[in-house]
């Protein structure tokens, strides 16, 4: 086992990893930008190294600075968290070249899954059902128009290298194709340095259902059921739950086995998420994330496992501490993402937190790096906390969420808490009756008047 792990991240996810290290008796190293000198992850880690100025490009994304921090502190392994360098294959390569261990999948798997076309091709080959679409990249507008006509509208044009909801455009009909195609290409080029796009059938009433998988890198893999993350704003998740209210035990077992078998076949190591759109009883693969997800705690809650501990174990060459038969679902869990944003436009709202009080009690977990007096820097994303509740069933989890939101105090900045207070009053949310378009429509309706 490692003696010391460096965490190449900040905020709540850095704390999450430090906590797992501490329970395992492993020393932790925080890295930080000059804007984060007073951040909680720096205070909580055993050691810390300043790796650059506020801009993420020069600090949290600086591979030489992170490798140097490992060498200075003697850390043997790097946990990337999510975002930043967590899905960067060349980072993994550099880590290995320096004789260090990356806590995550191989560079090759990250590369395959990071390109949406090669990801889809390999999933298809592994027997995973996919959204109908173009076979590979679509080079010209003429090709795009031909495919749109063949497949039938609406279609979605996606940047091959896209992520985080960027580089995707919907064309409702042939007239919209030109602008959708050119915009998706331009966004792909600008944000990801790659203008290649592909086309998929646009599903009009799907849910977003994702399967958590975990492999040991030696041909063993399990699934840990699904998460329903259908409540999204601009393709970004805001509310996630497990198990999915619309998924039966039979469906879970069937799609779960397909996913576990697929990752076992490629000797996948560590945590991964296979994302699907789910419509009328059918699953359609959209992408695989080769990292720990923001919403992993809902899975941890219902299965009673520590996914970060497990990531560290398999990275150190140990076997997984559970097999498929050890994994049974207990109750229902919900996570809400609390952002420092001002409603109704969700404008980022950094500033000083004059008072912070985290909710507690049975079945409540608050993953946050806030503290009273903390100045939220304006340079990074606006997630300031994740509130996760666990109950014996969905109604209990909803009641607990409402109670916990009432206890949470974040003064000094605007947050998205009022959004969740309002959502919990909606019959559709109470019943779990939503598709990926529900929240956008609700926001339009609620804030238009
Ligand atoms: P990203 O990598 O940017 O997160 P994804 O491919 O995972 O992109 O898609 C993000 C979201 O976009 C999905 O959760 C869903 O809301 C929407 N989406 C993606 N593909 C389709 C599709 N074929 N039909 C309808 N909605 C889609």
| Ligand 1 centre distance from Cα of residue 235 (Å) | 7
Ligand 1 centroid to residue 275 C-alpha, Å: 9
**Euclidean distance between CA atoms 340 and 382, whole angstroms:** 5
Provide the token pair at 277: 């759109």
Task: For a ligand 1 pocket test, name from 204, 277, 291 the mutation site with the most ligand atoms within 8 angstroms of its C-beta.
Answer: 277
For 275-314, how does the pLDDT look when each residue is reduced to its tens digit (9 = 90+)? 999 999 999 999 999 999 999 999 999 999 999 999 999 9
Q: What's the whole-number mean pLDDT along residues 208-237?
A: 97
Distance, first Cα to last Cα, the chain = 58
Give the per-residue pLDDT at 239: 98
Ligand 1 pocket by C-beta < 6 Å: which residues? 131, 156, 162-165, 168, 200-203, 206, 208, 232, 235, 275, 277, 286-287, 436
Query: Residue 238, exposed/middle/buried by CB under 10 A (0-12, 13-18, 19+)?
Result: buried
Q: pLDDT digits over 252-280, tens only?
A: 999 999 999 999 999 999 999 999 999 99
**Residue range 435-445: mean pLDDT, rounded:** 97
Distance CA(286)–CA(276), nearest Å, equals 5
Render pLDDT for 409-421 as a digit per residue (tens, 0 to 9).
Answer: 999 999 999 999 9
pLDDT at 448 (0 to 100): 78
> Hey, which residues are catalytic here?
291
Measured N-to-C along each axis, helices 63-73 and 89-97 cross at an angle, to the nearest 10 degrees, of 30
pLDDT band of residue 164 (cuts 50, 70, 90) is confident
Query: Residue 71: what are its φ and ψ, rounded to 5°?
Result: -65, -40
**Spacing, Cα 204 to ligand 1 middle (Å):** 11
Residue 166 has pLDDT above 90, yes or no: no
Query: For residue 305, what pLDDT is reported?
Result: 98
Q: State residue 155 phi and psi, 5-degree precision.
A: -130, 165
Ligand 1 centroid distance, CA of 374 (Å) = 35
- The DSSP string of 131-157 is --B-SS---SHHHHHHHHHHH-S-EEE
Euclidean distance between CA atoms 421 and 428, whole angstroms:
14
Nearest residue (CA) to ligand 1, atom 12? 235
pLDDT of residue 449: 60
Please name the residue whose Cα sits nearest to atom 1 of ligand 1.
163
Output the pTM of the full model: 0.95
pLDDT, position 378: 97
- Which tens digit of pLDDT belongs to each residue from 15-67? 999 999 999 999 999 999 999 999 999 999 999 999 999 999 999 999 999 99
pLDDT bracket for residue 163 (50, 70, 90): confident
């Amino acid at each position: 086992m490692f003696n010391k792990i460096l965490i190449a991240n900040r905020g709540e996810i850095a704390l999450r990893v430090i906590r797992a290290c501490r329970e395992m008796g492993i020393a932790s190293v925080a890295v930080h930008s000059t804007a984060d000198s007073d951040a909680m992850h720096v205070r909580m880690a055993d050691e810390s190294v300043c790796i650059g100025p506020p801009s993420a490009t020069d600090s949290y994304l600086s591979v030489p600075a992170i490798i140097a921090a490992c060498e200075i502190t003697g850390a043997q392994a790097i946990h990337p968290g999510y975002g930043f360098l967590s899905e960067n294959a060349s980072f993994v390569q550099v880590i290995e070249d320096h004789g260090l261990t990356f806590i995550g999948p191989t560079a090759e798997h990250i590369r395959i899954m990071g390109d949406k076309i090669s990801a889809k091709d390999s999933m298809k080959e592994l027997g995973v059902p996919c959204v109908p679409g173009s076979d590979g990249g679509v080079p010209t507008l003429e090709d795009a128009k031909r495919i749109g006509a063949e497949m039938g509208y609406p279609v979605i044009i996606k940047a091959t290298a896209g992520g985080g909801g960027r580089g995707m455009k919907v064309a409702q009909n042939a007239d919209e194709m030109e602008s959708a195609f050119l915009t998706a290409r331009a966004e792909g080029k600008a944000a990801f340095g790659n203008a290649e796009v592909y086309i998929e059938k646009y599903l009009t009433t799907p849910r977003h259902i994702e399967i958590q998988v975990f492999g040991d890198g030696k041909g063993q893999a399990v699934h840990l059921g699904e998460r329903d993350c259908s409540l999204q704003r601009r393709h970004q998740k805001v509310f996630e739950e497990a198990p999915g209210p619309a998924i039966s035990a039979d469906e879970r077992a069937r799609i779960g086995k397909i996913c576990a078998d697929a990752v076992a076949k490629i000797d996948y190591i560590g945590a991964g998420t296979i994302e699907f759109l789910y419509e009328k009883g059918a699953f359609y693969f959209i992408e695989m994330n080769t990292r720990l997800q923001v919403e992993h705690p809902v899975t941890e809650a219902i299965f009673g496992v520590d996914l970060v501990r497990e990531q560290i174990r398999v990275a150190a060459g140990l076997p997984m501490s559970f097999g498929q038969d050890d994994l049974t679902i207990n109750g229902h869990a919900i996570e809400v993402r609390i952002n420092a944003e001002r409603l109704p436009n969700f404008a980022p709202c950094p500033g000083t937190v004059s008072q912070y009080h985290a909710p507690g009690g049975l079945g409540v977990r608050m993953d946050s790096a806030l503290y009273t007096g903390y100045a939220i820097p304006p340079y990074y994303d606006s997630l300031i906390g994740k509130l996760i509740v666990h109950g014996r069933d969905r109604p209990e989890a909803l009641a607990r969420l409402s109670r916990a939101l009432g206890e949470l105090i974040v003064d000094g900045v605007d947050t998205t808490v009022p959004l969740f207070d309002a959502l919990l009053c909606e019959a559709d949310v109470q019943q779990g009756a939503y598709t990926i378009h529900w929240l956008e429509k609700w926001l339009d309706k609620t804030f238009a008047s």
